């Protein structure tokens, strides 16, 4: 490829990219689509002959633009989807351009050191032990997997078993304790790890989906042997936080009874509370646990995909993840090989976006995103409650709001689904539904650095319009 060819392809990509980003405040946030419409544009038989790279890129940009969900819009409130901070975006463009295989320092020295710096900054930001280990992974799912792989290693090693060498066949039983309201990525990680999702012991939750601490104590008292407990910092529905000091105390007592014990916190949504003076109290005690997962593509507003696995036990983390083989060049101790801390071999330098976001925002900027999104969640909750058309079902302690639309005919569940479908079709904002407490509800998640009062008010207007007509 000649220099001019690179320029043409960059132009073909960056022109539409720039137009797309500028259109975010005005374009519909979402529109229901027909997959056949998309297939008719991008499908067809395998091409026998080639097409120039710039033509392919230009066609892709043009064909797909109408079918993009505007995740980086300030009015995307579905699931827990963060926006796109410009520094993280710019860094990701460079990461794509540099095409570094960031598994080993020797293969990609520059980005490996950037990830090392980002890891240190994260521990400082999140106020976690400075000698904790950090892995940059694709998201909360793989962060939970990585942390639980380290947990599996440690509790079995403490029971005299080498799970990496000998697997689980014949191993001492690992008791896994989860909340009834855990995120679905926890059982999925247990499945990947051969620990089984159905064999986990479930502990009930209170009316805000926080773990019932007395029930946890009781469950732990009845267990003997290696134990992994999974708790949550930021519930997917309510945004609630488990009582971490009480969990750490219960785990300590379990350990003192002779049981190898590891407590993991899924902090995809709420580990970021620790950055904010205002919200830090919610996540107090987390620092006493053994591992923490979070998402940089949620409140840090890095691009998709970007998750982080952190553990207090670098030895266990590394034992669970690393691999050595003669044809590679492994670091000799002074530098960090990213591959030692994540499940991939070849990998994208995901930590570079994290580095750029933190460097651009600083501690105060990250705290500001946390505080602003949480205060906008409260604005939603207060205004919707005042409307008399809806009831807010959770204590809005963080960035999540659970709403029940009140149907005149009393069938609130069906009405909620109709209101949510209407909002999605309207395109002003994107919201999604959930089942919680035996009800169909609408979830609001404010997770975008770009969301402001006006976005919230426009979304509420659209919701109320839909509540009138659905
Ligand atoms: C509490 C929790 N854990 C895990 C995940 C999964 O994260 P990811 O989609 O980044 O894999 C989510 C996603 O919303 C979450 O809210």
Distance CA 292, CA 448 (A): 22
* In the predicted structure, residue 39 carries a pLDDT above the cut 80: yes
Distance in angstroms (rounded) separating the CA atoms of residues 103 and 432: 37
Mean pLDDT of 239-246: 98
- Whether pTM > 0.85 for this model: the answer is yes
The DSSP-derived string for 135-161 is: EEESSHHHHHHHHHHHHHHHHHHHTT-
- pLDDT, one tens digit per residue, over 301-322 is 999 999 999 999 999 999 999 9
Examine the pLDDT at 1 and tell me if it is beyond 90: no
Phi, psi of 391 (to 5 degrees): -120, 140
Tokens of 366: 């990250």
Cα of 77 to ligand 1 centre, how many Å?
A: 15
CA distance 230 to 211: 10
Whether 268 is in the pocket of ligand 1, judged by its Cβ within 6 Å, is: yes
Report whether 102 contacts 349 (CB < 8 A): yes
Residue 400's nearest CA partner among 431, 446, 358 is: 446
**Ligand 1 site, residue 156, Cβ cutoff 6 A:** no
The two structure tokens encoding residue 50: 């080639």
Q: Are 365 and 359 a contacting pair, CB within 8 Å?
A: no
Residue 388's pLDDT is 93
Confidence of residue 432 (pLDDT cuts 50, 70, 90): very high
pLDDT for position 3: 79
Q: CB of 307 closer than 6 A to ligand 1? A: yes
Q: CB of 269 closer than 6 A to ligand 1?
A: yes
* For ligand 1, mutation pick of 267, 269, 303 (most atoms within 8 Å of CB): 269
Q: How far is the CA of 268 from the centre of ligand 1 (A)?
A: 5
Kindly state the helix (H) or strand (E) to which residue 466 belongs, with its residue range.
helix 453-469
Instruction: Tell the residue nearest (CA) to atom 4 of ligand 1.
Output: 140
Query: To the nearest whole number, what is the mean pLDDT of the chain?
Result: 97
141 C-beta closer than 6 A to ligand 1:
yes
């Amino acid at each position: 490829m000649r220099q001019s060819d690179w320029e043409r392809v960059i132009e073909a990509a960056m022109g539409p990219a720039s137009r797309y980003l500028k259109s975010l405040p005005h374009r519909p946030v979402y529109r229901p689509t027909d997959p056949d419409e998309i297939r008719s544009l991008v499908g067809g038989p395998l091409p026998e002959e080639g097409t120039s790279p710039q033509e392919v890129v230009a066609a892709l940009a043009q064909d797909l633009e109408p079918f993009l969900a505007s995740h980086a819009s300030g009015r995307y409130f579905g699931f827990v989807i963060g926006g796109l901070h410009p520094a993280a975006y710019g860094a990701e463009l460079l990461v794509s351009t540099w095409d570094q295989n960031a598994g080993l320092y020797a293969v990609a020295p520059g980005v490996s050191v950037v990830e090392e710096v980002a890891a240190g900054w994260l521990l400082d930001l999140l106020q976690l032990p400075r000698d904790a280990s950090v892995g940059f992974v694709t998201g909360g799912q793989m962060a939970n997997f990585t942390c639980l792989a380290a947990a599996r290693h440690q509790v079995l090693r403490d029971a005299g078993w080498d799970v990496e060498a000998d697997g689980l066949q014949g191993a001492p039983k690992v008791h896994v304790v989860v909340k009834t309201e855990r995120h679905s990525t926890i059982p999925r990680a247990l499945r990947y790890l051969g620990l089984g999702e159905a064999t986990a012991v479930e502990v009930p939750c209170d009316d805000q989906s926080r773990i019932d601490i007395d029930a946890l104590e009781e469950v732990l008292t009845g267990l003997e042997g290696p134990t992994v407990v999974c708790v949550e910092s930021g519930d997917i529905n309510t945004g609630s936080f488990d009582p971490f000091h009480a969990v750490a105390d219960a785990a300590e007592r379990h350990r003192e009874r002779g049981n190898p014990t590891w407590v993991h916190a899924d902090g995809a949504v709420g580990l970021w509370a620790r950055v904010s003076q205002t919200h830090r109290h919610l996540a107090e005690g987390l620092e006493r646990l053994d591992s923490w997962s979070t998402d940089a593509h949620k409140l840090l507003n890095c691009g998709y995909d970007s998750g982080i696995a952190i553990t207090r036990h670098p030895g266990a983390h590394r034992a669970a993840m690393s691999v050595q083989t003669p044809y590679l060049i492994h670091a000799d101790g002074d530098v960090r090989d990213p591959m030692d801390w994540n499940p991939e071999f070849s990998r994208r330098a995901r930590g570079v976006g994290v580095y750029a976001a933190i460097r651009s925002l600083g501690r105060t900027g990250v705290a500001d995103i946390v505080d602003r999104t949480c205060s906008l969640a409260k604005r939603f909750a207060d205004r919707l409650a005042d409307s008399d058309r809806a009831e807010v079902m959770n204590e809005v302690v963080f960035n999540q709001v659970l709403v029940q639309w009140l149907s005149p005919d009393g069938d609130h569940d069906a009405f909620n689904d109709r209101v949510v479908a209407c909002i999605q079709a309207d395109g002003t904002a994107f919201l999604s539904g959930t089942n919680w407490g035996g009800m169909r509800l609408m979830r609001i998640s404010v997770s975008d650095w770009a969301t402001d009062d006006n976005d919230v008010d426009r979304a509420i207007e659209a919701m109320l319009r839909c509540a009138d007509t659905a």
